Structure 1
Amino acid sequence: MLADGARAQEIRGRVTDAEGRAVEPATVAVFRGDRQLAADVTDTAGRFRLSAPDGPYTLRVRHVAYRPLDTLISVRGRSGDELSLVMAEASVGLGEVTVQAERIVREADRFVVHVGDAPAMAGRDGAELLRTAPGVWVTDDGVSVNGAAGARVYVDDRELRLSGRALTAYLRTLRAADVARVEVLPQADASYGADVRGGVVRIVLRRRRERGMDANVSVETDFGRQYGGVRPSASVRVHAGRWTWHASAAGDHLYKGIGQLSAQRFYVNDAAGSFASQSVTDGRRRNVTGRVGAIFDANPRTSIGAEAELSRGRETEPSEVETVISQHGRLQSISGHYDREETDRLAAAAVNVTHRTDTIGSRLKLVADYTDRSLGGETDERSTAGWMNRDFTASRYRVLAIDASALRVLRSGMRLSAGAKYTRNRMRDSVRREGPASDPGFLTDYTEQIAAGYASVALELGRLSLTAGLRAEWTHTAGREGMRRAYADLFENATATYAFDPMRLFMLVAQYARNVERPNFRYLNPRRVRSSDFAYIEGNPALRPTYIRRLSLTAVWHYRYTLTVGGNLHRDLVREEAHTDASAPEVRIVRPENHDRENHWFVALSAPLRPVRGWELNANLVGVRQDLRATSSDPWATHWLGFARLTLGVTLPRDAYAELTYNASSRLHSANTGVEPRHTFDVVLKKQFADHRLTVTLGVSNLFDRGVTYFSHTDRFNERTSISGGSAGRRLTVGLHYVLRSGKSVKSRTVERASSDDTRRMDRVKNEK
């Protein structure tokens, strides 16, 4: 932050330890008295860069593993010179941390995980990397932050328009060696879409600034008594002149996924009889993804980026179901065979132009991206009850987004930003059935257009930082059978941060935002999917958008210890409810419905601890009070929820590393369905060879082979369903990861590329039992 009219000088330097190793991420700040004028964080090479007017100042450097460093400098005539700063290791406590270990710090509105070259990061994929971030949970259902599901994931400012298993599979194609840092925003600002429900996770890739090449080759295999898969991947980044090129390819081949499902019903009327069902599924999956892109630096201030992506996948899921029903003294046994096949093809392209209008952060940006995704499926259903059906499905989703924005940074430290965005979503879904004449199939066709304008302001008032933004959105949806909706809305957000000391070692952060979540296209699809003779899943085209008010207060100590209390207040939240079919009372149907109110009051603790030399314990704990009512006339129901992830990493001699992770969740509730408590342990051992270029990994996931149990309640019966084996069971993992680098040293840098923050409503309902 510079005084108006002062002549700016650039201050550059490098921070190392006594042995010449880079210190990162260290906070470097320029002070005049107690007033902070500028600040930066060192990169993986230990370098920093900031601007200040002429004059004498105090340069302060802070890092959790080193003693504080303060030095007097004079900026006059120094522009272009590089300072060399050496930090001494702390004698106790934090000084026992190796410089290369990853660092987790909390900034005003986000967590930042600096990846670095720590042994803990060696060989990790993107999904494993996100699990190290505070408050982030990654499952086959998607990504959540502080217990709020539906987080958006960006890679270099390009949104991954995927969810569920498709998103997890994509993240596994990324390698930690390609990542500079991970940023976790529990609350999105006005520049993101108003429908960002569960926060934002930004993965910033490394970029070479000197001529040279980075390449990574990996292969992992999972195997177990009922599970087997192979995941190869490779990536390369090359910088030459003004060009930076990148390409990657990855595969996911599941050749064995045998899972068992057991369902039992307990009738409200004990005389109604008994019901038990057993099924065995052997899922197979093949998926290949490729990406290629380039960034051209037209001049020091203007860059043009483009990226293209292609992926193809095929998944089969044959299952055999045996159901035994006893009613009124009559025993009936029914066998069913369900053979499902689904194909998935995605093509995406993105382009952006970024022009930096000054040297202190102002810029203009134009981004456009297009995604075309097609899914096809065939389902064969046969039962000894006497029926046989075949479904042929075809879906196509096309999303076009164009975003223009401007950011103006004033010398006083004030930041003004504004932008406009247009998004067009098109969904077409058809089902053709060969079976009973009374069930002919259907066709749905939706087009949604969203026009948005947004503006925000940020300013520094001494130790108080304020940010406020407003986003206006106009939405128009049209579809078959006369469906037409049009509405406009305003979405506000604000953040206030107060630092109790000049180096911001202790801060309080207050945040508020209003968001909307539009129903997923798959939820709007009325298609009914059969998972057995007595269980269906179907959509609901009458769903309304969900409106959410989010508020929180976070205490931050030493950049990395955080305690957050807050609430997410929902109106018309979409939940999956279980019903019985009026014409067939033994049939259970799961259908999404709007709930009148649902409030989540939470407390979240993030604490990276270092009890002894070479040991690091990252603790993420979340507790939630869930208050809900289905309709305005219903009484409030309250549930207490808890989530925990504890990761203990131990650095061993001879470039070896061990990690133990404990994941826990309490009983989870969603309308009249839910998930029983689950506790799992994962163990990983790593050894590096060939001057840290080769990493060998051996791990066990779900060490004690804990399955998953679901429950649902209807007026007629309660049902419990347990799933074991397959992806829910114990798995062994063996991995090899090789890194090749050539050329000069690598410097991390945020790359502004394609950005998109709109709906990710492309995934179908998976066939869940």
Structure 2
Amino acid sequence: MNKIYCILLFTLIGLSVNAQFRLSGNVLKANHSYLSFATIKLKGGNGINQYTQTDSLGSFYFSHLKPDKYVLTISAIGFVSRNELFNVKADTVINLMLNEETNRLGEIVIKAKQPLITQKIDRTVFNAENSLAAIGTDALELLAKVPGVRVLNDKVSLVGKGSVSVMIDDKLVQLADDDLSNYLKSISAGNIAKIEIITNPPAKYDAQGNNGLINIVLKKALGNGFKGSVNAGLNQATYATAIAGGNLNYRKDKLTLYTNLNFRKGSLVPVEQSNIYYPAQQWEVVNKDRNFRTVPSGQLGFDYQFSKRSTVGASYAGGLTNFHSEEQINTSVFGAAHLIDSVLNSNAHAKIRSHYHSAGIYLKQLLDTSGKTFTFNADWFRYNDDKNRFFDNTSYSSNGQLIPGSFAEYLSASKQQIALYTLKADFDLPYSFLKVSFGGKTSFIQNESDVNFFKRNAGTYIQDEKQSNLFRYRENTQALYLNTSKTIKRWDFQFGLRGEYTQLDGVSLNERNQIRYFQLFPTAFINYRASEESVWSVNYGRRINRPPYRKLNPFRWYSNQYVYTEGNPFLKPSYNNNISLMHIYKQVFTTTFSFSKTTDGYNDVNFVDALSNTQSSKPVNFITGYHYQLSNSIVLNPLKIWENTSQLDVFYNVANSALPQTLKRLTGLGAYFASTNQFIFNQSKTVLGDISFWYAWPTVDGVNKSRSQYNLDIGFKTLWLNKKMQIALAATDILKTDRYRFSSLINGINQVYHNYYDSWQLRFSVRYNFGNEKIKRQEIKQGNEEERKRNN
């Protein structure tokens, strides 16, 4: 199959193009940087005018031109317009430069209203500049209003796919979890031009992960000086959490400096309940866990244009997490006739201290005036954590009396060190007849975990060597890719192929696991513009899911002496084949049918033993899964003051299990509905509100059957000081219905779970923007995000 993929790819590249004449080129500024979104007008001898705009690389093209004389007019705000007269006798490439205006009478703003949703060959585009949701909000809040995107407890995901990587201007953000949400909250939605949803990433992106990408494209603006924002907030759930942060950007000619700092301190109280139905007993477990977090983090970087064609940059990011928890775990054991047999109480407190450091450098080199570029990245990341969990167990009989000798104290400890090194190079070559990009990447990953378990005896913790382990893991990957794209009349084509060779070496309990494997990851995209109102799209891609490092760590986290979770150092990656067919009507109504097949899928399985009553949760590879999904979304503006986006997804899951302890086959139909509504309450657009609702029907996820859950959020905000200050108040999960309830059958023993993660919250926030709004920094393009994401 690998040879077939290669033959097909290079055959497609070598196909001759049709004889239709094509005009293409690039528009540059005087400093040889790209001029994006310039207006291009082409007038032929027949008097018919055609229009287009330059893309983010300053490129444009017109196709199907007859031999004739043409006049090309290029214009952009703040630049002197230019006219060019020429003959077209064959495919023609023209590269032009516009000069900035030296005298301006004032600022003139020309707005050409775009549809809210547009479709490109490999991504769906949400044009934020045309959305009411972008008024007076931040990037994280805006993402929650984009069809197909879910933001739940400040975590970003795609419907049907799970957590997702986020990019800024096509550069992966080197942050995750709280650090990522804090960073997105520091970006004003007023600075966002559009949001791109990439459910099937092309070959130039890492094949790691099946959850897609989100690319936030900032508005293009220039200017010297300072620009920044500060924000603060208070979230009240069971207990309060305080949030503060800010960012600062400075630009002076060729130099741009930027920094951001964020701080979060507070606690949540998730409650987890489970019922385990053994043949002769029923165990009811209630775990109330108040956890505390103090999380400071920050970033510092610069970029410098040292010549007309060359830009270099560097960045550093770091963060610290101090975590501790106070847990009360009550286990009631029932015998025949549901009579209480015994009670097991556990008190636990955990201390986790972790920190990360990340640094990277990059070079971007313009190879010629036609837009050909070379980009190089070198990145380093280091993560350390130190976990200690102290817990005790006390047993009581059915009459509430202490069982003699039942009291015991334990300590579970783990130290983990992760180091990542990556090198990445990319070439983008936009030829007139074909756009080509290719490049390579190499990564080196080192992961060490020192795991220990102790039991306290006579005031001293004594190590249990049978439950202690030193785990060493090495993973090196080398990748090459080739991507091509071409437009022929109403058809757009893009084909890519990525090859990755990975070497694994893991040692755990003196058992060694060495694996070498090479895999090819083809991608294909085809668009057909049937009319101005109707666009069809089909795409295919193959992906790999390498396990997160925490799932490889054999550290055991005990709830009591019978119940624990642990990692699996021999967990293997899973693979996905994805295909989808999409139709967009009038840029308003979108329908998508998609299919995904998963092989070697892994999931956490709670292995229960009726003889010993132990429960061991561990990730294992055992699933072959099939996912069918029909998605529909619609964008409406019933009134000028009201914008609505709604979506309905219906899906069918099939999970075939290779584990003898589980059901061999599990199937289920599910659905998801979401509706977001934005309102403007005054003419100056300074008083706004929003209402969001979603409902998830019961479905199947791996070996689990999940029950329904739903959520209602309400928000209100006002803008002050010429819209530079925003004051917002929001209530999330106001009905307390966002509860994760599911069941599974392992070894013939039914398990039922009912968890609530303290998602009812009242949130108050203030943000103030200051400085020169025309400054825009260039995000550094870093190359190790997919490796870092597996640290979560």
Same fold at TM > 0.5? yes
1:163 Cα deviation from its structure 2 partner: 5.3
Is 1:391 the counterpart of 2:423? The answer is: no
SS in 1 for 2:140: helix
Partner of 1:369: 379
Residues 675 and 692, structure 2, Cα contact 8 Å, conserved in 1? yes
1:379 Cα deviation from its structure 2 partner: 0.5
Partner of 1:746: 774
Closer/same/farther in 2, CA of residues 762 and 598 from structure 1, 3 Å limit: closer
Question: How far apart, CA to CA, are the structure 1 residues paired with 2:321 and 2:734?
Answer: 29
Is 1:570 the counterpart of 2:598? The answer is: yes
1:399 Cα deviation from its structure 2 partner: 1.1
1:440 Cα deviation from its structure 2 partner: 3.8
Gaps of 5+ in 2: 1-16, 30-35, 76-80, 87-95, 102-106, 396-406, 456-462
Question: How far apart, CA to CA, are the structure 1 residues paired with 2:706 and 2:25?
Answer: 58
Question: How far apart, CA to CA, are the structure 2 residues paired with 1:293 and 1:560?
Answer: 40
Question: How far apart, CA to CA, are the structure 2 residues paired with 1:82 and 1:506?
Answer: 38
Is 1:490 the counterpart of 2:503? The answer is: no
Is 1:408 the counterpart of 2:429? The answer is: yes
SS in 2 for 1:704: coil
1:348 Cα deviation from its structure 2 partner: 0.5
SS in 1 for 2:639: coil
Is 1:279 the counterpart of 2:287? The answer is: yes
Residues 492 and 526, structure 2, Cα contact 8 Å, conserved in 1? yes
Residue of 209, 217, 241 corresponding to 1:196: 209
CA distances 1:100-149 after superposition (whole Å, capped 9, x unpaired): x9944322211223444966335544432322233122345954324112
1:219 Cα deviation from its structure 2 partner: 0.7
Is 1:249 the counterpart of 2:261? The answer is: yes
Question: How far apart, CA to CA, are the structure 1 residues paired with 2:108 and 2:84?
Answer: 15
Residues 450 and 474, structure 1, Cα contact 8 Å, conserved in 2? yes
Closer/same/farther in 2, CA of residues 617 and 341 from structure 1, 3 Å limit: same
1:420 Cα deviation from its structure 2 partner: 1.2
Residue of 498, 514, 519 corresponding to 1:471: 498
SS in 2 for 1:542: coil
Partner of 2:200: 187
Partner of 1:767: none
CA distances 1:533-590 after superposition (whole Å, capped 9, x unpaired): 54322222332221111101111234453211111111111122222136622x3222
Is 1:223 the counterpart of 2:236? The answer is: yes
Tell me which amino acid in the other structure corresponds to 1:258.
V
CA distances 1:398-434 after superposition (whole Å, capped 9, x unpaired): 111111111111123x101111110111111112222
Residue of 669, 677, 699 corresponding to 1:640: 669
Question: How far apart, CA to CA, are the structure 1 residues paired with 2:48 and 2:623?
Answer: 49
1:154 Cα deviation from its structure 2 partner: 2.5
Partner of 2:334: 326
Partner of 1:620: 647
CA distances 1:152-180 after superposition (whole Å, capped 9, x unpaired): 22234443456556654554455435544
1:57 Cα deviation from its structure 2 partner: 5.8
Partner of 2:631: 604
Is 1:712 the counterpart of 2:743? The answer is: yes
Could you tell me the TM-score, scaled by structure 2's length? Answer: 0.82
Tell me which amino acid in the other structure corresponds to 1:261.
E
Question: How far apart, CA to CA, are the structure 2 residues paired with 1:132 and 1:594?
Answer: 35
Question: How far apart, CA to CA, are the structure 2 residues paired with 1:737 and 1:307?
Answer: 25
Partner of 2:367: 357
Question: How far apart, CA to CA, are the structure 2 residues paired with 1:445 and 1:123?
Answer: 49
Residue of 530, 540, 544 corresponding to 2:568: 540
Closer/same/farther in 2, CA of residues 11 and 125 from structure 1, 3 Å limit: closer
Alignment of 1:40-79 (within 5 A): 40=53, 56=70, 75-76=84-85
Partner of 2:680: 651
Q: Determine which structure has more spread, i.e. the larger CA radius of gyration.
A: 2
SS in 1 for 2:305: strand
Tell me which amino acid in the other structure corresponds to 2:707.
E
Question: How far apart, CA to CA, are the structure 2 residues paired with 1:195 and 1:178?
Answer: 30
Is 1:240 the counterpart of 2:258? The answer is: no
Question: How far apart, CA to CA, are the structure 2 residues paired with 1:422 and 1:507?
Answer: 38
Question: How far apart, CA to CA, are the structure 1 residues paired with 2:721 and 2:694?
Answer: 33
Which shifted more, 147-156 or 629-638? 629-638
Residues 314 and 780, structure 2, Cα contact 8 Å, conserved in 1? no
Residue of 98, 101, 105 corresponding to 1:80: 98
Question: How far apart, CA to CA, are the structure 1 residues paired with 2:438 and 2:132?
Answer: 41
Partner of 1:262: 273
1:495 Cα deviation from its structure 2 partner: 0.6
CA distances 1:7-46 after superposition (whole Å, capped 9, x unpaired): 968599xxxxxxxxxxx99997757689998732799xxx
1:87 Cα deviation from its structure 2 partner: 7.2
SS in 2 for 1:759: helix
Partner of 1:420: 440
Closer/same/farther in 2, CA of residues 425 and 38 from structure 1, 3 Å limit: farther
Residues 660 and 681, structure 1, Cα contact 8 Å, conserved in 2? yes
Tell me which amino acid in the other structure corresponds to 2:739.
V
Could you tell me the TM-score, scaled by structure 1's length? Answer: 0.84
Which shifted more, 469-478 or 300-309? 300-309
Question: How far apart, CA to CA, are the structure 1 residues paired with 2:645 and 2:344?
Answer: 50
Is 1:444 the counterpart of 2:471? The answer is: yes
Question: How far apart, CA to CA, are the structure 1 residues paired with 2:468 and 2:42?
Answer: 68
SS in 2 for 1:299: coil
Closer/same/farther in 2, CA of residues 749 and 231 from structure 1, 3 Å limit: closer
Residue of 590, 601, 606 corresponding to 2:617: 590
Question: How far apart, CA to CA, are the structure 2 residues paired with 1:464 and 1:604?
Answer: 24
Closer/same/farther in 2, CA of residues 266 and 141 from structure 1, 3 Å limit: farther
Closer/same/farther in 2, CA of residues 213 and 621 from structure 1, 3 Å limit: farther
Question: How far apart, CA to CA, are the structure 2 residues paired with 1:499 and 1:750?
Answer: 33
Residues 337 and 381, structure 1, Cα contact 8 Å, conserved in 2? yes
Tell me which amino acid in the other structure corresponds to 2:677.
L
Is 1:662 the counterpart of 2:662? The answer is: no
Question: How far apart, CA to CA, are the structure 2 residues paired with 1:6 and 1:671?
Answer: 52
Partner of 2:124: 111
Partner of 1:499: 529
Question: How far apart, CA to CA, are the structure 1 residues paired with 2:300 and 2:777?
Answer: 19
SS in 1 for 2:222: coil
Is 1:687 the counterpart of 2:700? The answer is: no
Is 1:312 the counterpart of 2:313? The answer is: no
Over aligned residues, Cα RMSD in angstroms? 3.7
Partner of 1:17: none
Gaps of 5+ in 1: 13-23, 62-71, 90-98, 765-769
Question: How far apart, CA to CA, are the structure 1 residues paired with 2:216 and 2:425?
Answer: 22
Tell me which amino acid in the other structure corresponds to 1:388.
E
Residues 188 and 196, structure 1, Cα contact 8 Å, conserved in 2? no
1:465 Cα deviation from its structure 2 partner: 1.0
Question: How far apart, CA to CA, are the structure 1 residues paired with 2:111 and 2:472?
Answer: 65
Closer/same/farther in 2, CA of residues 59 and 630 from structure 1, 3 Å limit: farther
Alignment of 1:723-742 (within 5 A): 723-724=755-756, 727-742=757-772
Closer/same/farther in 2, CA of residues 245 and 11 from structure 1, 3 Å limit: closer
Closer/same/farther in 2, CA of residues 748 and 234 from structure 1, 3 Å limit: closer
Closer/same/farther in 2, CA of residues 275 and 29 from structure 1, 3 Å limit: farther
Question: How far apart, CA to CA, are the structure 2 residues paired with 1:731 and 1:746?
Answer: 35
Question: How far apart, CA to CA, are the structure 2 residues paired with 1:262 and 1:498?
Answer: 51
1:383 Cα deviation from its structure 2 partner: 1.0
Question: How far apart, CA to CA, are the structure 1 residues paired with 2:513 and 2:48?
Answer: 58
